[in-house]
Structure 1
Amino acid sequence: MGIVQDTTSAPPRPHTDFSTSPRRRPPRVDPRSGAGWAVGITTGGVAVLSGLAWVLTSDGTPPEGSASMTLLVFATAVVAWCSGRFEDVHVAVAATSGLLLLGVLTPVELLTAFGAEPIWLMFSAFLLAAGLTRTGLPGRLVAALTARARTPRQLAHLITVALVVSALLVPSTSGRAALAVPAHSALADVFGRRERLVRALALLIPTVILLSAVGSLVGAGAHLITSQILAATTGSGIGYAQWLLWGLPLAVVTSHLAAELVLLLHTRPSDRREPLRVPSALLRTELDVPHTWRPVETRAAWLLAVVVLTWSTNEWHGIPAPLPAFAAALVLAAPRSGVVSMSRAVSEVPWSLLVFMATTAAMGGALVASGAAQWLADAVLVGSGYALVVGVVAVSAAAHLVVQSRSARSSVLIPMVVPAALAAGMNPIALAFASTAAAGFCHTLTSSAKPVAVFSRIDAPTYRSTDLLVLSAFLGPLLVAVVLLFSVAVWPLLGLPLH
């Protein structure tokens, strides 16, 4: 914009030129408007949930004391999350504050949740990711893999490989989606005339990002919430190496199945038969990656290898998991040789996510400690043996239609799954892991997950809401079947039995 002054004798007055018409300021909204609706739906939701639990409970006896108060706070939080009118972290903080005021949760327990190792592990992982993304290492991985593709099927599966590996580098599905947008833009420029292929890739990338997150403990905040609740209730959480052993095979299988499904549903046989070539130079230019490796990339690759190796061997040496990531982040943020300042790296940490993780973990612990989780599990999760496994996996996969936040779904489901598993004589860790894995399915609506929302708004041919519905109709049952297969036949071989 420029400053234009009148040259006449009148006093000069500043005038602003707009290249476009000025944007109208949206009308102010009274923050109190809609409060009646919020109170009404919250009260109604609590009444419905309490009434349903009363009917389903075998003896019809409601919980007593702190369990009753905890259940009311929990039900109110669930209804608020389902409404979508409130921030997830705001609801979690309000619910935790309510538990503190009611005496169900003590200040020491809440502060312990904030100081738990999973919270600091995620914090250190975000610091490390801030440096890694600036080295260009993730972009080089994408460019190197996709440039090898000669057919659309090869391209889809090579992109899938890159996204699965990125789950080890970037501890956030939305962050991985932001990194993948430039790569998709470059591919869209190359294959501009092949619109169906470009649209299929736009659907493939967020789908694989969400499914591959289960491959790493830091792949999603929900994983750390699950581990934290398990540690508080059973005395044993899930470490990085264990999660990698159980989650990575599932991530690989489901991601590549999803890639095939996207190709079959959203491209024609002629599209898949037509050869292609991805110019590596164009991809590197778009992703700002030079032809030769830079020293900072080599250093970052070695640092990442050391961090992952240290995490994976934690049971042998006992070094707390956050420390290796902290050390690597310090190297990448060194004053002269680093790629990002420490203050900038800290500013990019999603603090609201960490607060949400800590407060929901504290809520989950209060649910179990007060007895409310056991009471609710007896009322809702009816069944034993394999019927319970099927019910938990199916409910977890469908929960995204009600609670959009992946972390919130874990904070709702895991406190009920653990006592239900113990009552049925099953392994609570196995059932909780299966629930968390199934909860990674959130592809039905554009609002179901941030990566889906990001790629629905890109400046390139992308998918429609009907495309998501078609994909979900096939992918949902497929994911449930694969998780059940792993629960029964694969994870027991890897040290995670159901019983």
Structure 2
Amino acid sequence: MLFIFIHSFKRMKLSGKMITFIISTAIFIGLLIWLPEDIPWSAKATISIMIYGILLWAFESLPLGMTSVFMMILLLFLHAVPIDVALSGFGSPAVFLIVAGMMIAKGVNETLLMNRITYMLFAKWGSSAKGIFIGVFLLMQLQAFFIPATAVRSSLIVPVVLSVLQSVGAKKGSNFSKLMLVGTAYAGNISGTAILTAAIGNILTIEILQLYVGKSLSYLDWFVYAFPVWILLIVIIPYIVWKCFPPEDFSFHILHKQMKQKKEDLGGLSNSELKCIIILSITVLLWMTQPIHGYHPTVPALMAVVLMALPRIGFVKWKKIVSVNFDLVLLIGATLSLGFALIDSGAIELLEELITSENLINIFANPWLAILMVILISQIYHLGVTNVSTAVVTLLPVLISLSLQAGIDPVVVSFTSAITILFGYLLIVETMPNVVVHGTGMINQRDFYLPGLLSTLASTLITLFVAFTWWRWLGFWP
């Protein structure tokens, strides 16, 4: 009998994810019970569900998509908000922009275009570790113009990096492996800085600004204000990673020769590649000229998807590009729905009263301190709320409220917070590029600490420098 009991106990041994799920659930129930009785039920339920969702998304106790559906069920089951509010996030243009972005990536991947660009870069710079490292870093930045979502870009480039490591015989634990993989993660993180459509956090920021203050930034506005930050990061972040992981002396002769041969074997541009380049160029042109025609970035993205699959005009079958990562779609829709629920239930007003204070408002009233505070708050908050989408949707409303009370521009505050949240250098779970490269099994969490600390400091100083020079010259910041 004792043997059976012990055997059963072993079989029931709780996994780490189950433990975090139980703890998160206990916190959720505790909030429902112990939040003050004078708080209206809808606000109390919404706040509890939001914190529950943050915990589940942060610890990934459940798959991201499952947590997203679970949060919507709770909003409805507990009568926190009406059904049209609970599902309203899925009517947002941001969801369709992400869907279109993933479909565009599928279409591009059906051609040899990315292979051709990769072989061209490696054929030119692939004779040394530095050349390959810089080539991969720049390739990730180039992808940002055409492929929305850092997760998609990282998933496309990591197999290339692994192939390089295998070709030169770099093993797990080698400096060159760490250099290439950590560098790829950081390249993915900063690749969305200046391109509005290149990161989910950027897209959500535009939606939140429109929702809360009725203002927004165009694709061109975002690019102009963030461009100096992006350029400085492209120069400084690779330098930091290189200094942290000086590579061993591998021979790149064979790899360089292979890349040249593969480039030559591809021959001239195929018909499908030419069509892909034309469609992508038209899409980017429409994004850049948004202030002229007024179309939301989702419109050109959806148009690109249709053109890619349109008979005779396109180059890929619809069935090839229609399969997307539905977990990501559910995540974006659910986080936006939570944002709408916070407003509808009155929970956002309670959270603002809880978080804001007279001292904090006085600090925000000083433009020189406001940007620094926004950066520090965003960095610290993102360490706890690791999911970028959740961090943006839950933090920006509070920062918008603070900025309005302090009499400063909420657009600048939101923009600063959004790009800061992209720069998740320290923890694996902070960004999807970090998660993707860690999933290779070639690097560990400790490999992120030193370059992460230095990169965080560098990003902070760069953003402050640009804010008090470039932004002031353009009249974006007082």
With structure 1 as the length reference, what TM-score do the two structures score?
0.80
- Deviation, 1:430, is 1.0
What amino acid is the match of 2:377? V
- Deviation, 1:298, is 1.7
Contact 1:113 / 1:358 at 8 angstroms: preserved in 2? Answer: yes
Give the SS at the match of 2:428.
coil
**How many Å separate the matches in 1 of 2:344 and 2:475?**
28
What amino acid is the match of 1:170? I
Give the SS at the match of 2:424.
coil
- Deviation, 1:261, is 0.4
Equivalent of 1:169 in 130, 141, 146: 146
Greater CA radius of gyration, 1 or 2?
1
Equivalences for residues 35-50 of structure 1 within 5 A: 36-43=22-29
**How many Å separate the matches in 2 of 1:102 and 1:189?**
53
Contact 1:225 / 1:360 at 8 angstroms: preserved in 2? Answer: no
Equivalent of 1:445 in 427, 431, 434: 427
**How many Å separate the matches in 1 of 2:329 and 2:475?**
30
Equivalences for residues 49-198 of structure 1 within 5 A: 66-100=42-76, 105-149=81-125, 151-192=128-169, 195-198=174-177
Equivalent of 1:405 in 380, 387, 399: 387
- Deviation, 1:126, is 2.0
Moved more, 109-118 or 255-264: 109-118
Contact 1:136 / 1:289 at 8 angstroms: preserved in 2? Answer: no
**Which structure features the higher share of helix residues?**
2
Q: Please tell me whether residue 234 in structure 1 is matched to residue 210 in structure 2.
A: no
Tell me: CA distance 1:392–1:354, structure 2 relative to 1, closer, same or farther (3 Å): same
- Deviation, 1:324, is 2.5
Contact 1:88 / 1:405 at 8 angstroms: preserved in 2? Answer: no
Query: What's 1:456 paired with?
Result: 438
Contact 2:64 / 2:327 at 8 angstroms: preserved in 1? Answer: no
**How many Å separate the matches in 1 of 2:285 and 2:332?**
25
Question: Deviation digits for residues 315-356 of structure 1, max 9, x if unmatched?
Answer: 212334333223322232234674432123111x22222222
Tell me: CA distance 1:490–1:178, structure 2 relative to 1, closer, same or farther (3 Å): same
**How many Å separate the matches in 2 of 1:103 and 1:494?**
47
Equivalences for residues 396-435 of structure 1 within 5 A: 396-435=378-417
- Deviation, 1:308, is 0.4
Query: What's 1:243 paired with?
Result: 222
Moved more, 187-196 or 174-183: 187-196
Moved more, 474-483 or 420-429: 474-483
Query: What's 1:327 paired with?
Result: 303
**How many Å separate the matches in 2 of 1:320 and 1:36?**
42
Tell me: CA distance 1:84–1:188, structure 2 relative to 1, closer, same or farther (3 Å): closer
Aligned residue-pair number: 457
- Deviation, 1:445, is 3.2
With structure 2 as the length reference, what TM-score do the two structures score?
0.83
Q: CA RMSD of the aligned region, Å?
A: 3.5
Query: What's 2:232 paired with?
Result: 253
Instruction: Could you tell me which runs of 5 or more consecutive residues in structure 1 were left unpaired when the two chains were aligned.
Output: 1-25, 52-60
Instruction: Could you tell me which runs of 5 or more consecutive residues in structure 2 were left unpaired when the two chains were aligned.
Output: 1-9
What amino acid is the match of 1:158? G
- Deviation, 1:102, is 5.7
Give the SS at the match of 2:468.
helix
**How many Å separate the matches in 1 of 2:108 and 2:100?**
12
Contact 1:160 / 1:256 at 8 angstroms: preserved in 2? Answer: no
Q: Please tell me whether residue 491 in structure 1 is matched to residue 466 in structure 2.
A: no
Contact 1:174 / 1:450 at 8 angstroms: preserved in 2? Answer: yes
Q: Please tell me whether residue 201 in structure 1 is matched to residue 180 in structure 2.
A: yes
Give the SS at the match of 2:430.
coil
**How many Å separate the matches in 2 of 1:397 and 1:187?**
33
- Deviation, 1:291, is 3.4
What amino acid is the match of 1:488? F
Equivalences for residues 346-357 of structure 1 within 5 A: 346-347=322-323, 349-357=324-332
Equivalent of 2:191 in 212, 225, 230: 212
Identical-residue share of aligned pairs (%)? 20
